[in-house]
Structure 1
């Protein structure tokens, strides 16, 4: 008599160690602080500098857009990490790091152009 074993994928879903949850929240808040800094900087550059308004508006737009992307991405990443910890899965790679580097790099190139002019 041969018995077939049926493996059912179950969700573990347990409460992770509170230290990991708190570390995940601190990381989320750090991303939110970054987004707020970019938002404030973008608004300041676009509103208070009038020497070359088109360039300053472009820098401001890049910073404000990046702030929105980071804020939404931070929440999504927080949820993905929390879910992975609850289900004993590997932590997902953050997509925010390359996006942030690319956005800040674009804003820096625009700022260099303004300074060079």
Structure 2
């Protein structure tokens, strides 16, 4: 019975994986900032409930990204160490759909305001 490989990947791949993780975290931080800003700094944008809804969308997507980015980094790192194919991630679809929803919601608020 063979044991799984655990080779140290080329440092460039490890650093690229880390940069990707940090990009997910930066995106989450941007969404947090956007959610707080839309709720606190643009009182003229539609109703309070609509601003709260948009802020909640931003903050929810930020939480999903922050929660899932580290496990994704770990899965990719483990796959590289073992020489396995890189795992697929539903995070790209979640982020795309989430940003689309936020954009459409914000667009409707701007147009109707």
1:46 maps onto 2:53 in alignment: no
TM-score, structure 2 length as denominator? 0.91
The alpha-carbon deviation at position 49 of structure 1 amounts to 2.1
Runs of 4+ more than 4 Å apart? none
Task: Give the one of 46, 65, 69 matched to 1:74.
Answer: 69
* Number of matched pairs: 110
Task: Note the alpha carbon deviations across 1:59-83, whole angstroms, 9 max, x for none.
Answer: 1000011001011111111000000
Provide the alpha-carbon RMSD of the alignment: 1.1
Task: Give the one of 8, 24, 44 matched to 1:15.
Answer: 8
TM-score, structure 1 length as denominator? 0.88
Report the equivalent of 1:30: 23
- Structure showing greater radius of gyration is 1
1:86 maps onto 2:81 in alignment: yes
Unaligned 5+ runs, structure 1? 1-7
